[in-house]
Amino acid sequence: MNCVLFYHAFSSCWNNGNAHFLRGIARELHRLGHDVVVYEPADGWSRLNAIRDGGHQTLHEVPQMFPGISVRLYDQSFDLDEALDAADLVIVHEWNSPDLIERIGRRRAQGAPFTLLFHDTHHRAVTAREELARFHLDGFDGVLAFGEVLRQIYLGLGWANRAFTWHEGADTELYRPLPHITKTRDLVWIGNWGDDERSAALRKYLIEPVATLKLRATIFGVRYPEEALDEIETAGIEFGGWLPAHRAPLAFADAQMTVHVPRGPYVRALPGIPTIRMFEAMACGIPIVSAPWEDAERLFTPESYVRAADGAHMRNALRALSQDAEFAAATASAGLHLVRGRHTCRHRVRELLDIVDQIRTSRPLVTRREYEGAVA
């Protein structure tokens, strides 16, 4: 197939936690013999912030890590018809502009023969519903929702007639154990401060336990206010700033353990959707302790990670992992085995291809010649 993927950002992961998964999907589609072209806006928010943060080299490095995949920047002079010409599968990520989403949907509604999917990997369906309501998805063949609860929202609100649950996963080509690296930290945490929706949880399940246990820890991320940076420094934690996603495996390999602190909307309204860090940490063979979060879809086994019910439990769990090497190794091994067996980008691409087959067998076939004749 000719696969055309429209992402808000592919080269940049600045405040873009989806970059890892989206890149991995492109990689696996190409590995399975499909042609893959990725389009990203030249003035995308993540890309521009990466440049301001000194990320010119990173933006240059990332496309080179995905040989065979064509990554194309576009601007206002962008020729959409040319981009869609000969496409068999088109996926549009939800962080694209409403105008682009509508224009692509219109092409499909007019009879373009490609399969068109809308991919949602965010919490705006519950926190900024009016933003998603602006999207015109009538021309789309379906929605890829990264959790069952999100799929039900799309169907319940009438935003889509067909939606599929399509969780994220790990790109195990990149995210893998690196046993040759000597560990120098007790704990690493990779994540952005965000919009204050989990600041209390970060204090309770990350900063305070680390300070109490006096762990050697580093926090990586962006959008940290001065108040948060002061708290991190007072707690004796190193702050590493922006860590490009493709360097995260090195940070995981350098630490004994990590922590999962989900954002507030996922805890309160979107159960069953973990952050990408769960998949990343497990794929890298590092034990992870999670703050309260409901695994409503049973993505993980009880032994694959440690659950902390409150701050005291988090301190106890981190202490146990730091002092009991056998417990830490068993947890890491269970997580690694689980991800490799069920949650890789290769698994997700196979699911995607099954979804495409379902759609194609349930709709009238339109040849490219018929479509071109209809819109000529």
What is the per-residue DSSP string for 271-329?
A: TT---HHHHHHHHTT--EEE-S---TT--S-GGGSEE-SSHHHHHHHHHHHHH-HHHHH
The total domain count for the chain is 2
**Cα 63 to Cα 304: distance, rounded to the nearest angstrom:** 32
Q: Please give the torsion angle defined by the CA atoms of residues 115, 120, 121 and 125, in that order, rounded to the nearest 10 degrees.
A: -170
pLDDT at site 367: 47
Q: Are 47 and 140 part of one and the same domain?
A: yes
Indicate whether 178 belongs to any domain: no
- Residue 169 in this model has a pLDDT that exceeds 60: yes
Closest CA to 181 of 258, 259, 251: 251
**For 35-66, what is each residue's pLDDT tens digit?**
999 999 999 999 999 999 999 999 999 999 99
Q: Are 161 and 256 part of one and the same domain?
A: no
Indicate whether 174 belongs to any domain: no
Indicate whether 28 belongs to any domain: yes
**Cα 21 to Cα 344: distance, rounded to the nearest angstrom:** 9
The stretch 68-91 carries a mean pLDDT of 96
Indicate whether 177 belongs to any domain: no
Q: Are 21 and 137 part of one and the same domain?
A: yes
**Cα 199 to Cα 214: distance, rounded to the nearest angstrom:** 21
Q: Per the structure block, which two tokens stand in for 234?
A: 């007072």
pLDDT at site 364: 62
- Count CB atoms within 10 A of the CB of residue 340: 16
Q: Are 260 and 371 part of one and the same domain?
A: no
Indicate whether 205 belongs to any domain: yes
Q: Are 75 and 125 part of one and the same domain?
A: yes
pLDDT cut 70: percent of the chain above it? 97
- Residue 71 in this model has a pLDDT that exceeds 70: yes
Indicate whether 310 belongs to any domain: yes
Give 120's strand partners: 145
**For 180-213, what is each residue's pLDDT tens digit?**
999 999 999 999 997 777 899 999 999 999 999 9
Model confidence at 264, in pLDDT bands (50, 70, 90)? confident
Q: Are 146 and 256 part of one and the same domain?
A: no
Model confidence at 339, in pLDDT bands (50, 70, 90)? very high
Q: Are 228 and 198 part of one and the same domain?
A: yes
Indicate whether 176 belongs to any domain: no
- Residue 129 in this model has a pLDDT that exceeds 60: yes
Q: Are 9 and 92 part of one and the same domain?
A: yes
Q: Is 325 buried (19+), middle (13-18) or exposed (0-12) by CB count in 10 A? A: exposed
Q: Are 48 and 134 part of one and the same domain?
A: yes
**Cα 208 to Cα 223: distance, rounded to the nearest angstrom:** 20
CATH number at residue 316: 3.40.50.2000
pLDDT at site 372: 57
Distances from the Cα of 223 to the Cαs of 193, 220, 327, in angstroms?
Answer: 6, 11, 34
pLDDT at site 131: 81
- Residue 236 in this model has a pLDDT that exceeds 50: yes
**Cα 72 to Cα 10: distance, rounded to the nearest angstrom:** 10
Q: Are 90 and 147 part of one and the same domain?
A: yes
What is the H or E stretch that residue 39 is in? strand 35-41
**For 209-232, what is each residue's pLDDT tens digit?**
999 999 999 999 999 999 999 999
Indicate whether 150 belongs to any domain: yes
Rounded to 5°, the CA angle 196-255-235 comes to 45
pLDDT at site 263: 86
pLDDT at site 376: 46
Q: Are 38 and 126 part of one and the same domain?
A: yes
Mean of pLDDT over the chain: 94
Strand 238-241 with 217-220, pairing: parallel
Domain residue limits at 120 = 2-169+344-375
**Cα 196 to Cα 126: distance, rounded to the nearest angstrom:** 16
**Cα 273 to Cα 259: distance, rounded to the nearest angstrom:** 16
pLDDT at site 332: 98
**For 102-124, what is each residue's pLDDT tens digit?**
999 999 999 999 999 999 998 88
**Cα 19 to Cα 10: distance, rounded to the nearest angstrom:** 6
Model confidence at 132, in pLDDT bands (50, 70, 90)? confident
- Residue 369 in this model has a pLDDT that exceeds 60: no
Model confidence at 375, in pLDDT bands (50, 70, 90)? low
**For 271-321, what is each residue's pLDDT tens digit?**
999 999 999 999 999 999 999 999 999 999 999 999 999 999 999 999 999
- Count CB atoms within 10 A of the CB of residue 76: 7
132 or 61, which is more confident: 61
Q: Per the structure block, which two tokens stand in for 103?
A: 């224009």
Q: Are 235 and 359 part of one and the same domain?
A: no
